[in-house]
Amino acid sequence: VISRKIAEKILPRIFKAIEMGSEVASKALKNSGRALGVAIGSGIGLMLLDDLDNPVVIMPDLIESWLPNLLELSMVIALILTAFRFVGIIPSFVLWLDDDGELDGSQKTVVSAAESVVRFVIVILGSVVVAGTLGFDLSTLIAGLGITGLAIALAAKDTLSNIFGATTVLLDRPFKVGDWVIIDSVEGEVMEIGLRTTLIRSSLDTVITMPNANLTSTPVENWGKRRFRRWQPEFKLDINSDPNLIKTFCAGIISMIEKHDLTMKKDSSFARVSSLGPDAIVIGCNVYWDISNGNVEKEARENFLLSVMSLAKDNKLEFHDPRKRHN
């Protein structure tokens, strides 16, 4: 009890910087301290009972034979609980090490997967250690687990394929949480990447569950990794427009592109006459937006189009009206 109280107080102070970053980490450290204190107390009890020739306390034979085993079992279970609860500190620890103090989608994905893998390993190893503490024959147990594991592996090959797919995603990082992707016929925003499935929210606000095994053999188009957003609008002017005014109009559009704060690759941008029709002169444009948000892009396009309208009026140019006929 004393060691439990001491560890409960000391452990959060050792990791004070991490504890301050998250309430979850604070709670995990407090619970870890309790479990660790129980493990330390059980270990101290085992040390006191170790020398049976010179016992510290005299007790009945039944208690003397069972107490060391109970203390050992208590220590092992407490250590497993300590390790299991320490997993809850991983996100806060990564956040503490991060330079900007905020986890992006890729980091959240790795942390989530790391938590799942570490918990799985702790459960497997803990079960083996507890079995050994209870007196089971580990060699027979491991041999049995080997045969059983082979049968389970054959029966659960799809699950293993999904786990392998998740590992591939985490290592290659074709996308991260928050990216907009197209995988085969599925399109939407990546919500979560688990060990077995990846959740994608579609444009209709439905959630699509994608088996990770599909990700290893299907091309993934990631709109979140675009370096720029290309836009190629066309403006149709009346066929009777003055060619000199059209040149001035095109030069004005190029000037608007070059002066805009949200455009890039300005050397590759243009506004030129692309074709002549029986009723219209077509002005083709090429614009590259340095924008990562769809709403911002729509607002920038709207302002750009309205500016083009004003530019056409200033140059006394009319847009093509298909209802008018020219002789």
Tokens of 166: 């998740």
Percent of the chain surpassing pLDDT 90: 18
Q: Residue range 124-146: average pLDDT? A: 70
- What is the tens place of the pLDDT at every residue in 16-38? 655 555 565 666 666 677 787 88
Mind listing the pLDDT tens digit for each residue in 219-239? 888 887 777 888 899 999 999
pLDDT at position 99 is 59
Q: How far is CA 326 from the centre of its chain?
A: 59
The neighbouring-strand residues paired with 286 are: 270
Give the tens place of pLDDT for each residue, 271-280: 999 998 888 9
Residue 77 has what pLDDT?
86
Is the confidence at residue 69, as pLDDT, over 80? no
SS3 call for 209? strand
- Residue 177: phi and psi, rounded to 5, are -60, 130
Q: Does position 95 have pLDDT exceeding 90, yes or no?
A: no
